[in-house]
Every structure is written in C-alpha cells, then in structure tokens.
C-alpha cells in the first residue's frame, strides 16, 4: 500500500519592489498586519502578531474572527535573505509543523518574482484550492502594501 502524497498550493507574483524589501516584509509584524491578516483582507481583528525571526524561532499570529481567537503558529526553518524563507504553518492546537511554506524570491529586471509553495499533508489535500486562493489574496495584498 502506498503512502498518500502531500498536496501543493503554489502562487507566483511579480513585484516592482526589490527582493530585499519583499523578503523583509515576511519578517516585519507591521507589514504582516497589512497583508496576511486584518480587516483589509477579511472580517477579522488582529489580536497579536509576534515572531522570533531566526532559524528555529517561532511565530504566533492571533486574530479574532466571529468572536473566536485563531492562532496561526509556525517555526522558521530557513532564512536566506533575500532569496528563500521556509517556515512551518499551522493553526493551534494542531502541531506546529502541520504543513510547510517556502517563499522563493528571484530578482528580475524590474524588481523580483515571488513563488510561494505551501506543502499540505495528504489529509488536507481537499483544501489545496482554498489554501492557494488564500495565499493569492495575501500575496496580492503584499504587492499593494509595498507599492
């Protein structure tokens, strides 16, 4: 019997901002509060955004939706500025390493191209399209936040 394969949600976006600026946004709670969470994206309130931006460091992004607090948690696995950021992604109380997100940033002639790949465990494969749309919305918001 074969082991089920993970599912991959992938988003690519061109930016006119420098690779460094795009990379740094992923580790700055002020900017994260403008592109990943908050009322400008969905009906929610940011409660707390904290992170320890080092390999092995963790983050906790707490929002309130419909009266319920949701804690998005993860651990940084790779921080290679300005090219690559890899972190685990989960919603508490699930294990902190329930899934993995890789953000790859490649320079181009007018800025950079970001490719985000979210690896979902096989049991979450049915959420691949929804996950991809969520990241597409957030990456689009990041593009607008960086101007």
Tell me whether residue 1 is in a domain: no
Number of domains in the chain: 1
Give the chain's count of helices (H) and strands (E): 3, 7
Q: Structure tokens of 32?
A: 């994260």
The whole domain housing 58 covers 7-146
Cα 122 from Cα 64, distance rounded (Å): 28
Asked if residue 1 has pLDDT above 70, the reply is: no
Rounded to an integer, what distance in angstroms lies between the CA atom of residue 100 and that of residue 38? 22
Residue 87 lies in a domain: yes
Residue 66 sits in a domain whose CATH number is 3.30.530.20
Instruction: Indicate whether 138 belongs to any domain.
Output: yes
3-class DSSP assignment, residue 72: strand
- d(CA 139, CA 133) in angstroms, rounded, equals 10
Whether the pLDDT of residue 60 is over 80: the answer is yes
Q: Give 54's contacts (C-beta < 8 A, 6+ positions apart).
A: 76, 79
Say what the pLDDT of residue 4 is: 83
Q: What percent of the chain has pLDDT over 70?
A: 99
Determine, yes or no, domain membership for 43.
yes
Centre a 10 Å sphere on the Cβ of residue 73 and count the other Cβ atoms it contains. Answer: 21
The answer to whether residue 2 sits within a structural domain is no
Identify whether 12 is part of a domain. yes
Q: How confident is the model at residue 136 (pLDDT cuts 50, 70, 90)?
A: very high
117 pLDDT above the threshold of 90 = yes
């Amino acid at each position: 019997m074969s082991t089920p394969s993970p599912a991959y949600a992938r988003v690519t976006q061109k930016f006119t901002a420098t690779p460094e600026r795009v990379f740094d946004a992923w580790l700055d709670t002020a900017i994260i509060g403008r592109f990943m969470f908050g009322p400008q994206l969905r009906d929610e309130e940011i409660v707390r955004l904290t992170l320890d931006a080092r390999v092995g460091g963790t983050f906790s992004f707490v929002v309130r939706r419909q009266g319920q607090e949701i804690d998005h948690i993860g651990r940084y696995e790779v921080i290679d500025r300005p090219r690559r950021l890899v972190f685990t992604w989960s919603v508490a109380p699930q294990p902190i390493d329930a899934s993995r997100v890789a953000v790859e940033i490649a320079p181009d002639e007018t800025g950079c191209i970001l490719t985000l790949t979210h690896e979902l465990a096989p049991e979450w494969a049915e959420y691949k399209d929804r996950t991809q749309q969520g990241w597409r919305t957030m990456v689009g918001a990041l593009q607008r936040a960086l101007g």
